[in-house]
Protein backbone atom coordinates (compact mmCIF):
# COMPACT_ATOMS: atom_id res chain seq x y z
CA UNK A 1 0.00 0.00 0.00
CA UNK A 2 1.27 3.44 -0.93
CA UNK A 3 2.24 5.49 2.13
CA UNK A 4 -0.46 7.84 3.45
CA UNK A 5 -0.50 10.75 5.88
CA UNK A 6 -2.18 9.99 9.23
CA UNK A 7 -2.86 12.78 11.73
CA UNK A 8 -3.40 11.73 15.34
CA UNK A 9 -5.03 14.08 17.87
CA UNK A 10 -5.40 13.44 21.59
CA UNK A 11 -5.76 15.33 24.82
CA UNK A 12 -2.55 15.54 26.90
CA UNK A 13 -3.27 12.60 29.19
CA UNK A 14 -1.03 9.52 29.32
CA UNK A 15 -3.99 7.18 29.65
CA UNK A 16 -5.15 8.41 26.25
CA UNK A 17 -1.75 8.52 24.56
CA UNK A 18 -0.01 5.34 25.74
CA UNK A 19 -2.65 2.96 24.30
CA UNK A 20 -2.00 4.14 20.70
CA UNK A 21 1.78 4.55 20.59
CA UNK A 22 2.50 1.01 19.44
CA UNK A 23 -0.22 1.29 16.80
CA UNK A 24 1.18 4.56 15.47
CA UNK A 25 4.65 3.03 15.42
CA UNK A 26 3.29 0.13 13.37
CA UNK A 27 1.80 2.56 10.84
CA UNK A 28 5.23 4.18 10.49
CA UNK A 29 6.81 0.74 10.09
CA UNK A 30 4.38 0.08 7.23
CA UNK A 31 5.58 3.17 5.41
CA UNK A 32 2.92 5.70 6.38
CA UNK A 33 3.69 9.21 7.59
CA UNK A 34 2.23 9.90 11.03
CA UNK A 35 1.85 13.37 12.55
CA UNK A 36 0.85 13.61 16.23
CA UNK A 37 -0.51 16.55 18.16
CA UNK A 38 1.73 16.82 21.23
CA UNK A 39 2.12 19.39 23.97
CA UNK A 40 5.33 19.96 25.90
CA UNK A 41 5.16 17.02 28.35
CA UNK A 42 4.44 14.56 25.54
CA UNK A 43 6.89 15.66 22.86
CA UNK A 44 9.76 13.35 23.79
CA UNK A 45 7.84 10.08 23.91
CA UNK A 46 5.59 10.88 20.95
CA UNK A 47 8.52 12.22 18.92
CA UNK A 48 10.39 8.94 19.37
CA UNK A 49 7.95 7.22 17.02
CA UNK A 50 6.27 9.87 14.85
CA UNK A 51 6.31 13.46 13.68
CA UNK A 52 5.28 15.99 16.32
CA UNK A 53 2.73 18.76 15.79
CA UNK A 54 3.61 20.98 18.78
CA UNK A 55 1.13 23.21 20.56
CA UNK A 56 0.65 24.96 23.90
CA UNK A 57 -2.02 23.01 25.74
CA UNK A 58 -3.97 24.59 28.60
CA UNK A 59 -4.48 21.06 29.94
CA UNK A 60 -0.85 19.94 30.03
CA UNK A 61 0.21 19.49 33.64
CA UNK A 62 -2.75 21.39 35.04
CA UNK A 63 -3.92 20.50 38.56
CA UNK A 64 -7.34 21.73 37.39
CA UNK A 65 -7.96 18.27 35.96
CA UNK A 66 -8.68 17.03 39.47
CA UNK A 67 -11.21 19.85 39.98
CA UNK A 68 -14.29 18.40 38.33
CA UNK A 69 -16.08 21.76 38.23
CA UNK A 70 -13.28 23.18 36.09
CA UNK A 71 -13.09 20.37 33.53
CA UNK A 72 -15.67 21.65 31.02
CA UNK A 73 -14.26 25.16 30.55
CA UNK A 74 -10.75 23.68 30.48
CA UNK A 75 -11.81 21.27 27.74
CA UNK A 76 -13.18 24.14 25.68
CA UNK A 77 -9.91 26.05 25.99
CA UNK A 78 -8.10 22.87 24.95
CA UNK A 79 -10.30 22.50 21.86
CA UNK A 80 -9.64 26.07 20.77
CA UNK A 81 -5.88 25.82 21.32
CA UNK A 82 -5.48 22.49 19.55
CA UNK A 83 -7.82 23.32 16.66
CA UNK A 84 -5.87 26.50 15.86
CA UNK A 85 -2.81 24.32 15.23
CA UNK A 86 -4.62 21.46 13.50
CA UNK A 87 -6.40 23.85 11.14
CA UNK A 88 -3.04 25.02 9.82
CA UNK A 89 -1.98 21.41 9.27
CA UNK A 90 -5.24 20.75 7.43
CA UNK A 91 -4.49 23.56 5.00
CA UNK A 92 -0.74 23.15 4.56
CA UNK A 93 -0.29 19.37 4.87
CA UNK A 94 -3.70 17.76 4.43
CA UNK A 95 -3.84 14.30 6.04
CA UNK A 96 -5.51 11.34 4.34
CA UNK A 97 -7.18 10.29 7.59
CA UNK A 98 -7.56 11.74 11.09
CA UNK A 99 -7.33 9.46 14.11
CA UNK A 100 -8.87 11.36 17.01
CA UNK A 101 -9.16 10.42 20.67
CA UNK A 102 -12.75 10.47 21.87
CA UNK A 103 -12.02 13.56 24.00
CA UNK A 104 -9.99 15.36 21.33
CA UNK A 105 -12.92 17.14 19.74
CA UNK A 106 -10.61 19.35 17.67
CA UNK A 107 -9.60 16.33 15.59
CA UNK A 108 -13.21 15.35 14.92
CA UNK A 109 -14.15 18.95 14.03
CA UNK A 110 -11.17 19.24 11.66
CA UNK A 111 -12.53 16.28 9.74
CA UNK A 112 -15.93 17.97 9.40
CA UNK A 113 -14.43 21.24 8.19
CA UNK A 114 -12.07 19.68 5.63
CA UNK A 115 -14.06 16.60 4.66
CA UNK A 116 -11.36 14.20 5.90
CA UNK A 117 -12.27 10.70 7.20
CA UNK A 118 -12.13 10.49 11.00
CA UNK A 119 -11.52 7.43 13.16
CA UNK A 120 -12.32 7.89 16.82
CA UNK A 121 -10.24 6.01 19.40
CA UNK A 122 -11.66 4.90 22.74
CA UNK A 123 -9.12 4.37 25.55
CA UNK A 124 -12.14 4.49 27.90
CA UNK A 125 -15.29 2.42 27.60
CA UNK A 126 -17.19 3.21 24.41
CA UNK A 127 -20.72 4.57 24.30
CA UNK A 128 -23.77 3.71 22.19
CA UNK A 129 -27.54 3.70 22.63
CA UNK A 130 -27.31 0.87 25.17
CA UNK A 131 -24.43 2.08 27.32
CA UNK A 132 -22.56 5.26 28.18
CA UNK A 133 -20.30 6.15 31.07
CA UNK A 134 -22.26 9.35 31.65
CA UNK A 135 -25.67 7.70 31.66
CA UNK A 136 -24.75 4.52 33.52
CA UNK A 137 -22.02 5.79 35.85
CA UNK A 138 -22.47 9.57 36.06
CA UNK A 139 -18.94 10.07 34.76
CA UNK A 140 -19.33 13.66 33.58
CA UNK A 141 -18.85 16.38 36.20
CA UNK A 142 -21.28 18.87 34.68
CA UNK A 143 -24.12 20.62 36.45
CA UNK A 144 -26.97 22.05 34.32
CA UNK A 145 -25.48 25.54 34.73
CA UNK A 146 -21.97 24.39 33.78
CA UNK A 147 -23.31 22.51 30.78
CA UNK A 148 -25.32 25.52 29.58
CA UNK A 149 -22.23 27.73 29.80
CA UNK A 150 -20.14 25.09 28.03
CA UNK A 151 -22.63 24.70 25.18
CA UNK A 152 -22.76 28.47 24.72
CA UNK A 153 -18.97 28.48 24.42
CA UNK A 154 -19.11 25.59 21.95
CA UNK A 155 -21.67 27.49 19.85
CA UNK A 156 -19.34 30.48 19.69
CA UNK A 157 -16.40 28.24 18.71
CA UNK A 158 -18.38 26.54 15.94
CA UNK A 159 -19.42 29.92 14.57
CA UNK A 160 -15.78 31.05 14.58
CA UNK A 161 -14.68 28.09 12.45
CA UNK A 162 -17.60 28.19 10.01
CA UNK A 163 -19.64 25.27 11.34
CA UNK A 164 -22.75 27.28 12.23
CA UNK A 165 -24.96 24.45 10.97
CA UNK A 166 -23.66 22.09 13.68
CA UNK A 167 -25.44 22.29 16.99
CA UNK A 168 -23.46 22.30 20.24
CA UNK A 169 -25.16 19.04 21.17
CA UNK A 170 -23.93 17.43 17.94
CA UNK A 171 -20.43 18.60 18.81
CA UNK A 172 -20.60 17.19 22.31
CA UNK A 173 -22.41 13.93 21.50
CA UNK A 174 -21.16 13.38 17.95
CA UNK A 175 -20.88 9.87 16.57
CA UNK A 176 -18.15 8.67 14.25
CA UNK A 177 -18.69 6.11 11.52
CA UNK A 178 -15.40 4.43 12.40
CA UNK A 179 -14.28 3.73 15.95
CA UNK A 180 -11.40 1.77 17.45
CA UNK A 181 -11.90 0.52 21.01
CA UNK A 182 -8.42 -0.03 22.39
CA UNK A 183 -9.35 -3.18 24.33
CA UNK A 184 -11.21 -6.47 23.78
CA UNK A 185 -14.99 -6.55 23.48
CA UNK A 186 -15.24 -8.85 26.54
CA UNK A 187 -14.37 -6.10 29.01
CA UNK A 188 -16.69 -3.48 27.41
CA UNK A 189 -20.04 -3.17 29.25
CA UNK A 190 -22.85 -4.25 26.89
CA UNK A 191 -20.11 -5.20 24.45
CA UNK A 192 -22.42 -7.36 22.34
CA UNK A 193 -24.56 -4.30 21.45
CA UNK A 194 -21.82 -2.42 19.56
CA UNK A 195 -22.21 -2.65 15.80
CA UNK A 196 -19.71 -2.80 12.93
CA UNK A 197 -18.79 0.87 13.35
CA UNK A 198 -16.74 -0.28 16.36
CA UNK A 199 -13.59 -2.35 16.01
CA UNK A 200 -12.38 -3.89 19.27
CA UNK A 201 -8.67 -4.73 19.14
CA UNK A 202 -5.93 -6.31 21.14
CA UNK A 203 -4.46 -3.35 23.01
CA UNK A 204 -1.24 -1.64 22.01
CA UNK A 205 0.97 -2.59 24.96
CA UNK A 206 4.05 -0.47 25.57
CA UNK A 207 7.40 -2.22 25.59
CA UNK A 208 9.36 -2.48 28.83
CA UNK A 209 11.17 0.72 29.78
CA UNK A 210 14.47 -0.90 30.87
CA UNK A 211 14.49 1.68 33.65
CA UNK A 212 17.14 2.38 36.31
CA UNK A 213 14.78 0.73 38.81
CA UNK A 214 14.83 -2.58 36.94
CA UNK A 215 17.40 -4.33 39.16
CA UNK A 216 15.41 -3.42 42.29
CA UNK A 217 12.17 -4.62 40.68
CA UNK A 218 13.71 -7.94 39.60
CA UNK A 219 14.74 -8.69 43.18
CA UNK A 220 11.48 -7.50 44.78
CA UNK A 221 9.57 -10.72 45.35
CA UNK A 222 6.68 -10.80 45.87
CA UNK A 223 5.84 -7.30 44.66
CA UNK A 224 2.69 -5.17 44.85
CA UNK A 225 2.41 -2.24 42.44
CA UNK A 226 0.44 0.74 43.77
CA UNK A 227 -0.88 3.70 41.77
CA UNK A 228 -3.73 6.21 41.67
CA UNK A 229 -2.89 7.46 38.18
CA UNK A 230 -1.87 10.98 37.25
CA UNK A 231 -4.91 13.09 38.23
CA UNK A 232 -6.84 12.02 41.36
CA UNK A 233 -3.79 10.97 43.33
CA UNK A 234 -3.43 13.40 46.23
CA UNK A 235 -4.41 10.80 48.83
CA UNK A 236 -1.62 10.34 51.34
CA UNK A 237 -3.70 8.05 53.57
CA UNK A 238 -4.36 5.70 50.65
CA UNK A 239 -0.65 5.24 50.00
CA UNK A 240 0.13 4.87 53.70
CA UNK A 241 -2.53 2.19 54.10
CA UNK A 242 -1.44 0.29 51.01
CA UNK A 243 2.23 0.32 51.95
CA UNK A 244 1.41 -0.71 55.52
CA UNK A 245 -0.65 -3.63 54.22
CA UNK A 246 2.12 -4.82 51.91
CA UNK A 247 4.75 -4.53 54.64
CA UNK A 248 2.51 -6.60 56.94
CA UNK A 249 2.69 -9.36 54.34
CA UNK A 250 6.48 -9.11 54.19
CA UNK A 251 6.18 -8.18 50.50
CA UNK A 252 7.81 -5.42 48.49
CA UNK A 253 5.86 -2.39 47.24
CA UNK A 254 6.46 -0.05 44.30
CA UNK A 255 4.24 3.03 44.51
CA UNK A 256 3.66 5.84 42.01
CA UNK A 257 2.66 8.73 44.29
CA UNK A 258 2.35 11.48 41.66
CA UNK A 259 3.68 15.00 41.74
CA UNK A 260 1.47 16.39 44.50
CA UNK A 261 2.89 14.29 47.35
CA UNK A 262 6.48 14.25 48.60
CA UNK A 263 7.89 10.89 49.74
CA UNK A 264 8.47 12.11 53.35
CA UNK A 265 4.72 12.82 53.59
CA UNK A 266 4.00 9.14 53.07
CA UNK A 267 6.16 8.46 56.10
CA UNK A 268 9.23 6.37 56.83
CA UNK A 269 9.33 3.19 54.78
CA UNK A 270 11.60 0.17 54.72
CA UNK A 271 14.03 -0.75 51.97
CA UNK A 272 11.30 -3.06 50.63
CA UNK A 273 9.40 0.02 49.39
CA UNK A 274 10.10 2.01 46.23
CA UNK A 275 8.44 5.44 46.04
CA UNK A 276 8.45 7.33 42.74
CA UNK A 277 6.57 10.28 41.32
CA UNK A 278 6.03 8.18 38.20
CA UNK A 279 6.82 4.47 38.05
CA UNK A 280 8.24 2.71 35.01
CA UNK A 281 4.91 0.92 34.92
CA UNK A 282 5.62 -1.82 32.38
CA UNK A 283 8.90 -2.74 34.07
CA UNK A 284 7.00 -2.79 37.37
CA UNK A 285 4.08 -4.89 36.14
CA UNK A 286 6.39 -7.45 34.58
CA UNK A 287 7.63 -8.24 38.09
CA UNK A 288 4.47 -7.61 40.12
CA UNK A 289 2.10 -10.13 41.69
CA UNK A 290 -0.78 -7.66 42.06
CA UNK A 291 -1.74 -4.09 41.16
CA UNK A 292 -3.63 -1.90 43.64
CA UNK A 293 -4.93 1.06 41.64
CA UNK A 294 -7.63 3.58 40.84
CA UNK A 295 -8.93 1.46 37.96
CA UNK A 296 -7.94 3.53 34.97
CA UNK A 297 -8.71 1.37 31.96
CA UNK A 298 -5.25 1.79 30.44
CA UNK A 299 -3.36 0.75 33.58
CA UNK A 300 -5.83 -2.09 34.19
CA UNK A 301 -5.35 -3.45 30.67
CA UNK A 302 -1.57 -3.13 31.01
CA UNK A 303 -1.69 -5.10 34.28
CA UNK A 304 -3.84 -7.88 32.83
CA UNK A 305 -1.65 -8.04 29.71
CA UNK A 306 1.24 -8.82 32.06
CA UNK A 307 -0.76 -11.46 33.93
CA UNK A 308 -1.32 -9.30 37.03
CA UNK A 309 -4.69 -9.33 38.88
CA UNK A 310 -6.04 -5.97 40.03
CA UNK A 311 -7.55 -4.54 43.20
CA UNK A 312 -9.38 -1.34 42.33
CA UNK A 313 -10.19 1.69 44.49
CA UNK A 314 -12.19 3.79 41.98
CA UNK A 315 -12.19 7.58 42.26
CA UNK A 316 -14.67 8.56 39.50
CA UNK A 317 -17.48 7.03 37.45
CA UNK A 318 -15.47 5.53 34.62
CA UNK A 319 -13.20 3.80 37.14
CA UNK A 320 -16.24 2.31 38.89
CA UNK A 321 -17.24 0.90 35.50
CA UNK A 322 -13.79 -0.67 35.10
CA UNK A 323 -13.98 -2.15 38.60
CA UNK A 324 -17.39 -3.65 37.87
CA UNK A 325 -16.17 -5.22 34.60
CA UNK A 326 -13.07 -6.62 36.30
CA UNK A 327 -15.19 -8.20 39.04
CA UNK A 328 -17.68 -9.58 36.53
CA UNK A 329 -14.86 -11.23 34.60
CA UNK A 330 -13.26 -12.53 37.82
CA UNK A 331 -9.94 -10.78 37.19
CA UNK A 332 -9.72 -8.93 40.50
CA UNK A 333 -11.86 -7.14 43.06
CA UNK A 334 -13.31 -3.71 43.74
CA UNK A 335 -12.13 -2.38 47.08
CA UNK A 336 -14.59 -0.92 49.60
CA UNK A 337 -14.68 2.86 49.94
CA UNK A 338 -12.66 2.58 53.15
CA UNK A 339 -10.39 -0.22 54.27
CA UNK A 340 -7.69 -0.86 56.81
CA UNK A 341 -4.19 -2.11 56.14
CA UNK A 342 -5.12 -5.47 57.67
CA UNK A 343 -8.22 -5.78 55.46
CA UNK A 344 -6.26 -4.92 52.35
CA UNK A 345 -3.52 -7.41 53.23
CA UNK A 346 -6.16 -10.14 53.52
CA UNK A 347 -7.68 -9.17 50.15
CA UNK A 348 -4.28 -9.17 48.44
CA UNK A 349 -3.55 -12.66 49.76
CA UNK A 350 -7.01 -13.91 48.83
CA UNK A 351 -6.74 -12.68 45.23
CA UNK A 352 -3.12 -13.75 44.68
CA UNK A 353 -3.66 -17.21 46.19
CA UNK A 354 -6.89 -17.92 44.26
CA UNK A 355 -6.11 -20.48 41.54
CA UNK A 356 -9.35 -19.68 39.68
CA UNK A 357 -8.42 -15.98 39.51
CA UNK A 358 -4.95 -16.91 38.25
CA UNK A 359 -6.48 -19.12 35.55
CA UNK A 360 -8.91 -16.42 34.40
CA UNK A 361 -6.17 -13.77 34.35
CA UNK A 362 -3.95 -16.06 32.27
CA UNK A 363 -6.79 -16.67 29.80
CA UNK A 364 -7.51 -12.96 29.51
CA UNK A 365 -3.81 -12.20 29.14
CA UNK A 366 -3.77 -14.48 26.08
CA UNK A 367 -6.62 -12.42 24.56
CA UNK A 368 -4.61 -9.22 25.06
CA UNK A 369 -1.31 -10.38 23.63
CA UNK A 370 -0.32 -10.58 19.97
CA UNK A 371 2.99 -11.30 18.26
CA UNK A 372 3.42 -7.65 17.37
CA UNK A 373 1.54 -5.05 19.39
CA UNK A 374 -0.18 -2.47 17.19
CA UNK A 375 -0.99 -4.67 14.17
CA UNK A 376 -4.77 -4.63 14.66
CA UNK A 377 -4.75 -0.86 15.27
CA UNK A 378 -2.83 -0.25 12.05
CA UNK A 379 -5.15 -2.60 10.13
CA UNK A 380 -8.19 -0.67 11.33
CA UNK A 381 -6.68 2.68 10.35
CA UNK A 382 -5.71 1.46 6.88
CA UNK A 383 -9.32 0.40 6.21
CA UNK A 384 -10.32 4.09 6.42
CA UNK A 385 -7.89 5.29 3.77
CA UNK A 386 -9.77 6.82 0.82
pTM: predicted TM-score of the whole model, two decimal places: 0.91
For residue 252, give every residue at least 6 positions away whose Cβ sits within 8 Å of its Cβ, in sequence order, or none: 220, 221, 222, 223, 224, 246, 272, 273, 274
> pLDDT-derived band of residue 6, with 50, 70 and 90 as boundaries?
very high
Going from N- to C-terminal start, the domains of the chain cover 5-205+371-382, 214-368
Residue 84 host element (H or E): helix 71-92
**Residue 70 scores a pLDDT above 70:** yes
74-78, 174-178, 363-367: least confidently modelled range: 174-178
77-81, 114-118, 168-172: least confidently modelled range: 168-172
pLDDT at residue 377, as a whole number = 96
**Residue 380 scores a pLDDT above 80:** yes
Nearest to 69, CA basis, from 154, 136, 145, 16: 145
CATH topology of domain 214-368: Rossmann fold (3.40.50)
For residue 26, give every residue at least 6 positions away whose Cβ sits within 8 Å of its Cβ, in sequence order, or none: 372, 373, 374, 375, 377, 378
Nearest to 330, CA basis, from 310, 344, 313, 345: 310
Contact between residue 226 and residue 255 where contact means Cβ atoms under 8 Å apart: yes
**Residue 64 scores a pLDDT above 60:** no
20-34, 71-85, 259-273: least confidently modelled range: 259-273
Phi, psi of 206 (to 5 degrees): -65, 150
Q: Tell the burial category of 107 from Cβ atoms under 10 Å away from its Cβ (0-12, 13-18, 19+).
A: buried
pLDDT averaged over every residue in the chain: 91
- Residue 357 falls in which region: left (phi positive, over 0), alpha (psi -120 to 50) or beta: alpha
Contact between residue 235 and residue 228 where contact means Cβ atoms under 8 Å apart: yes
117-121, 338-342, 367-371, 379-383: least confidently modelled range: 367-371
Which of residues 143 and 354 earns the better pLDDT score?
354
What would the mean pLDDT of 266-292 be, rounded to a whole number? 94
Distance CA 175, CA 168 (A): 13
Domains 5-205+371-382 and 214-368 share a fold: yes
> Looking at domain 5-205+371-382, what is its CATH homologous superfamily?
Glycogen Phosphorylase B; (3.40.50.2000)
Distance CA 303, CA 32 (A): 30
What would the mean pLDDT of 361-368 be, rounded to a whole number? 95
Contact between residue 293 and residue 253 where contact means Cβ atoms under 8 Å apart: no
pLDDT at residue 67, as a whole number = 54
Nearest to 127, CA basis, from 188, 196, 38: 188
Amino acid sequence: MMGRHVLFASIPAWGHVYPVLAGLAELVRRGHRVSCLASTSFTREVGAIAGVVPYDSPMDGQAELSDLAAVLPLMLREVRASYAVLERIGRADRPDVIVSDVLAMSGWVLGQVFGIPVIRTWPVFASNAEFSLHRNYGSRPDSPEAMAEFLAGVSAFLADIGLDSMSPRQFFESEAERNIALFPREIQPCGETFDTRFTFIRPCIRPAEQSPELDWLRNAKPLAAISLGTVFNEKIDFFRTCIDSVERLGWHAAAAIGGKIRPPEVGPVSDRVLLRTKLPMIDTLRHASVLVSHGGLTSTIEALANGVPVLIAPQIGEQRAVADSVETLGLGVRLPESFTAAELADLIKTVVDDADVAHRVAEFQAKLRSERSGDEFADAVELAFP
